[in-house]
Structure 1
Amino acid sequence: MILKGFKEKSIKKQLNLILKSPNTSFKETPIENMGIIFNADETIDFEGLKSLSNVIGVKPNKLKVIAFTPQKKDMTYSWDTCFNPKDFSWNGKVINSELQTFIDTDFDILISFYKQDILELRYITAASKAKFKVGVYLQDERLNDLIIKTNLNQLESFKTELYKYLKVLNKITHD
């Protein structure tokens, strides 16, 4: 119980440090690779999420998807990696190498598709080295560069709006 408190406090401290430093990496370069992070308890349309890469023009081998679940990892999922709170040490450090690799990947765009206020999801979004971050999470506007206000079950609406904004920002070169 004490370690859980240390863990939560450490993650919050690291999250706030990351969010205090401004993101100045925006460039008008086209999107070639993409990461998606989502909450498995909120989203059931995994194939729909993967289809976001088609809208943006990202090839399937340039797409990396991870999911968060408070459950143990014994379940088999069809996405790339699944993580849970146990993938963080008592001092808030990521101890899952696949999760750390996701964080360190220099994505052209990161889609954060979750609405629940879960500390680990917020931390992964903030710590990601992605150049441009898009999400639907509204409670902390510092996490994402672009927030598309939509419900999670309105994926088609999210796709349409995402395409529209990325086209305006010269992030998509195809039609």
Structure 2
Amino acid sequence: MSFLQNIKNRLANNHIRNKQKKNPRIKEFHNLESAKSIGILFDTLDDKNHSIAKKFSEDLLQKGYKVQTVGWINADELPDFGVAQKILFYTNKDVKWNGEPISEELAEFVTKKFDLLFIFTESDHLSIKYLTQLSNASCKVGSLADNCEHLDLMIDQGKNKSLANLISESLKYLAIIKK
């Protein structure tokens, strides 16, 4: 990482920490029985992630949950699949240099009080850090990784680090755990 990128990351991390101190979230564990609203954050770094996250979101909607899905595209423009869907896609142009959202919809995603927030990415992009660490969700679920201190339930996937496996394992543990 370059010297300037290190400075940028440090400044952004300080900005995130200061915002967390000013607006601490209230943690409350939820399982699939107690959750009513669910947020999903994923990346499109793997081409399959989009279709898997879309299907998972649709399955949750059919079961009666209120679901909002956000997908990050590591580009400056939305590809064709990012237009006219129920998924809110954002690109690098939709966030400031420190990861803070420019779009109102993305800013609302951070402040929305989800019962469960599924974080289906291990990316260390500043926008992902911003959205996951400052999210007002009661319970955050994601993959066990180096940068997962903001998660409330960490899923160890072992060697099978696919999105489909992460979803399957998350649902398995959320069904087992009683509130």
Report the TM range for the smaller structure's normalisation. 0.7 to 0.9
Taking the aligned partners of 1:113 and 1:31, their CA distance within structure 2 comes to 18
Find 1:158's aligned residue among 159, 163, 166.
166
Partner of residue 111 from structure 1, selected from 107, 111, 118: 118
Q: Give 1:63 deviation, angstroms.
A: 1.3
Question: Cα 1:43–1:149, aligned 2, differ >3 Å: closer, same or farther?
Answer: farther
Unaligned runs of 5+ in 1: none
Q: Which amino acid letter does the alignment assign opposite residue 162 of structure 2?
A: N
One of 149, 156, 173 as aligned partner of 1:142: 149
TM-aligned CA distance change 1:74 to 1:49, over 3 Å: closer
C-alpha distance after superposition, 1:50-74 (max 9, x if no partner): 44353697536x1111111221234
Q: Which residue of 2 aligns with 1:12?
A: 13
TM-superposed deviation, 1:92: 5.3
Classify 1:115/1:74 alpha carbon distance in 2 versus 1 (closer, same or farther; 3 Å): closer
1:132 to 139, 144, 150: 139
Matches of 2:144 and 2:97, distance apart in 1: 26
Bigger shift: residues 138-147 or 50-59:
50-59
Matched to 2:27, the amino acid is: S
Q: Give the secondary structure class of the aligned counterpart of 1:103.
A: helix
Cα distance 1:45–1:122, how it changes in 2: closer, same or farther (>3 A)? Answer: same
Superposed displacement of residue 115, structure 1: 2.2
- Cα pair distance change 1:82/1:51, threshold 3 Å: closer
User: What CA distance in whole angstroms lies between the structure 2 residues aligned with 1:100 and 1:23?
Assistant: 16
Equivalent in the alignment of 1:67: 71
Q: Check 1:120–1:48 CA distance in 2 against 1; reply closer, same or farther (3 A cut).
A: same
Task: Structure 2 unaligned segments of length 5 or more: list them.
Answer: none
Q: Deviations over 1:129-169 (max 9, x none)?
A: 111101115112312111112244251x3333222321233
Say yes or no: does 1:95 pair with 2:124: no
Identity %: 25
With the length of structure 1 as denominator, give the TM-score of the two structures: 0.75
- The alignment's C-alpha RMSD in Å is 3.3
